[in-house]
Amino acid sequence: MENSLKVLICDDSVLIRKKLRATLEKCRCKEIFEAENGNVAIELTKEHQPDLIFMDIVMPDKDGIEALKEIMEINSEAKVVMASSVGTNDNLKKALEAGAYDFIQKPITLEAVATIIERVIKEGSVNV
């Protein structure tokens, strides 16, 4: 069954964006947008109002925590999932304080993404 989630992937790695897009497609997400840094993610959030955002923490130009804060001001309903290979408690704490919905460790697995998508849909915050 397809879902109508609008999903934004924000990561400075093209490879990670490609892998995450493939994972989201397996989870039957149809509207997927990609950003290579926090600034682009903010612009795409204004334009497309994604329901779910996967955001890398460590990126050039504007990091994930800064972008998260601005995205929450634009759309406080967006579910922002922070992703990082550098799983420091400090970054996790900052992200949650800034309004992050969840946090996943890289490498991102299909199971982790599917669980988050199911939870977002189950909470009824978006129409499926």
Closest CA to 54 of 116, 125, 119, 121: 116
Residue 54 pairs in a beta bridge with 9, 81
Q: Report d(CA 38, CA 50) in Å as an integer.
A: 14
DSSP strand E in 11-127: where?
Answer: 29-35, 52-56, 79-84, 102-105
Burial class of residue 92 (count of CB atoms within 10 Å of its CB; 0-12, 13-18, 19+): middle
The pTM of this model reads: 0.93
What does the pLDDT read at residue 127?
A: 47
3-122 placed in CATH 3.40.50.2300? yes
Q: What would the pLDDT profile of 76-123 be if each residue is shown by its tens digit?
A: 999 999 998 865 778 888 999 999 999 998 889 999 999 999 999 998
Q: Which residues contact 22 (CB under 8 A, 6 or more apart)?
A: none
